[in-house]
């Protein structure tokens, strides 16, 4: 099977355009900063439901910050809001791309900021909801000061890489970009042809690799770190707490961001994730059906953002093996489900690690009643003091603090609800092959 060539191509809708100016510049002092709510959290935490209920209370509109929900047809695996929910509350950046198309953090920044302005112009409240950390970081702090490649440069980069992609020679492509001037190309995830092409475009346009351009978030973080005294010097923050310092620095951002990270105890989260993976596999319109459609489009696993997405990549790999073998055993289906659950739990763990370092977020306990969480955020939005304090009963710890919890996590074993016995797999196997027993 030949590799599709979608990932190096671009369409007017999806071509990544990097702005020539930094988007995290200081706002005009004469202009009042508009409030924007950001809700994130690990997969399975309940952030979409929270955003929906909050939007109803605040006359808000939801802007998705999910790198998979942008694609049509990837509904179950991305836990996309239902059609009825999207009719009830307007949603943005959902179903805007074909699964074969590329989408970048730079394009998300442009699309999300434009959607934010559109929502504000209508007098509604923008609610950004999703768990893609890099998307949210750029959205809040701005994008790097990188020039857009001219059509000639983009075509030249495409020409240099396309034959290597056709032949699947990833190592040679990486070597080409490294020799062009980007030593970090060797760390680009395998088969991410878009990243290699974009790096080559930047080098050809500017003479420098992507790493040469400052990232607004890094400048913010450096300011914060420079204001934190060295513990060995026994100095203080002159009455300024870490949270207060963050709030002070965040005044330099384009909007008045009110950011929350919704999570729960790791053990409870893992149980919800495992059950969610099972439910995604159920029925004739589950994730296996959606993965089959990706293969029918000529796409292969781990080829582009859609086929690298958790769940879809594993399902596509399983289905290819199924086709090659002419069938599948129940043991192999159980193995697929176990891998799907494992990578989903690991993804949640990485999300929590990422957001621990994001100073602007207030962590909320997802195990608390939804109504109380909505009430708190509603009040926080209308608060004029600028001094947001999460009540103790809603606070979620960022770190595992007890040895008992660490021990429980080490002993954790999945206990399936829907797929327990071999006969529980028959329906799925029969859907893939009516002759399967």
CB 224 within 8 A of CB 245: yes
Q: Does the pLDDT value for residue 314 go beyond 80?
A: yes
Q: Any idea which fold 35-146+215-266+352-394 has?
A: Rossmann fold (3.40.50)
Average pLDDT over residues 367-392: 94
Please name the residue ranges forming H helices in 128-192: 133-141, 151-167, 170-180
Ranking 45-59, 249-263, 333-347 by mean pLDDT, the lowest is: 249-263
Report pLDDT for 357. 87
- DSSP E strand stretches across 28-106: 35-40, 60-64, 91-92
Q: Does the pLDDT value for residue 158 go beyond 90?
A: no
| Tens digits of residue pLDDT in 95-123 | 999 999 999 999 999 999 999 999 999 99
First to last CA, the chain: 29
Report pLDDT for 230. 54
Q: Where are the domains of the chain?
A: 35-146+215-266+352-394, 151-212, 267-347+406-431
Phi, psi of 188 (to 5 degrees): -65, 135
Residues forming beta bridges with residue 35, ordered by sequence position: 256
Element (H, E) at 263: strand 256-263
Indicate the pairing of strand 91-92 with strand 60-64.
parallel
Average pLDDT over residues 55-77: 97
Report pLDDT for 233. 53
CB 279 within 8 A of CB 37: no
What gap in Å lies between CA 122 and CA 125, rounded to an integer?
A: 9
Q: Does the pLDDT value for residue 343 go beyond 90?
A: yes
| Tens digits of residue pLDDT in 249-304 | 577 799 999 999 999 999 999 999 999 999 999 988 999 999 999 999 999 999 88
Residue 73's SS3 state is coil
Report pLDDT for 198. 87
Residues forming beta bridges with residue 37, ordered by sequence position: 127, 258
Report pLDDT for 227. 62
pTM of the model: 0.82
Q: Give me the chain's average pLDDT, please.
A: 86
What gap in Å lies between CA 68 and CA 75, rounded to an integer?
A: 9
- Residue 84 CA, chain-centre distance (Å), reads 23
Number of helices (H) and strands (E) in the chain: give both, helices first.
17, 6
CB 398 within 8 A of CB 363: yes
Confidence grade of residue 87 (pLDDT, cut at 50, 70, 90): very high
Residue found by looking up tokens 């080829």 in the block: 303
Confidence grade of residue 26 (pLDDT, cut at 50, 70, 90): very low
Element (H, E) at 313: helix 312-325
């Amino acid at each position: 099977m030949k590799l599709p060539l979608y990932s190096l191509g671009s369409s007017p809708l999806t071509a990544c355009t990097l702005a020539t100016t930094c988007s995290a510049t200081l706002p005009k002092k004469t202009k009042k900063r508009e409030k924007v709510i950001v809700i994130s959290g690990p997969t399975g935490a309940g952030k979409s439901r929270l955003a929906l209920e909050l939007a109803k209370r605040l006359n808000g509109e939801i802007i998705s910050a999910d790198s998979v929900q942008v694609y049509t047809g990837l509904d179950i695996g991305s836990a996309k809001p239902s059609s009825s929910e999207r009719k009830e509350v307007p949603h943005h950046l959902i179903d805007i791309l074909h699964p074969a198309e590329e989408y970048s953090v730079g394009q998300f920044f442009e699309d999300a900021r434009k959607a934010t302005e559109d929502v504000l112009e209508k007098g509604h409240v923008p609610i950004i909801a999703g768990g893609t950390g890099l998307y949210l970081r750029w959205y809040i702090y701005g994008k790097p000061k990188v020039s857009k490649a001219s059509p000639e440069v983009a075509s030249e980069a495409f020409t240099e890489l396309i034959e290597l992609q056709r032949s699947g020679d990833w190592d040679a492509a990486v070597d080409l970009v490294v020799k062009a001037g980007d030593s970090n190309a060797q760390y680009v995830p395998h088969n991410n042809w878009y990243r290699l092409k974009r790096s080559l475009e930047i080098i050809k346009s500017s003479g420098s690799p992507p790493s040469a351009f400052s990232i607004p978030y890094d400048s913010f973080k450096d300011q914060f770190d420079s204001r934190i005294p060295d513990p060995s010097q026994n100095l203080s923050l002159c009455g300024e707490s870490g949270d207060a310092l963050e709030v002070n620095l965040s005044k330099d951002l384009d909007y008045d961001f009110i950011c929350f990270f919704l999570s729960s105890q790791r053990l409870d989260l893992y149980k919800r994730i495992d059950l969610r993976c099972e439910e995604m596999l159920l029925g004739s319109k589950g994730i296996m059906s959606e993965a089959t459609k990706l293969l029918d489009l000529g796409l292969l696993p781990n080829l582009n953002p859609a086929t690298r997405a958790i769940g879809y990549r594993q399902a596509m790999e399983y289905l290819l093996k199924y086709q090659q073998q002419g069938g599948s055993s129940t043991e192999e289906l159980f193995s697929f489900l176990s891998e799907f659950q494992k990578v989903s739990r690991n993804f949640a763990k990485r999300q929590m690690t990422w957001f621990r370092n994001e100073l602007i977020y207030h962590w909320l306990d997802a195990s608390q009643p939804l109504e109380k969480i909505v009430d708190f955020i509603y009040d926080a939005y209308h608060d004029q003091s600028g001094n947001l304090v999460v009540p103790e009963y809603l606070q979620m710890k960022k770190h595992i603090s007890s040895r008992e919890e660490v021990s429980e996590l080490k002993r954790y074993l999945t206990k399936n609800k829907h797929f327990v016995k071999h006969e529980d797999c028959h329906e799925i196997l029969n859907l893939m092959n009516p002759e399967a027993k």
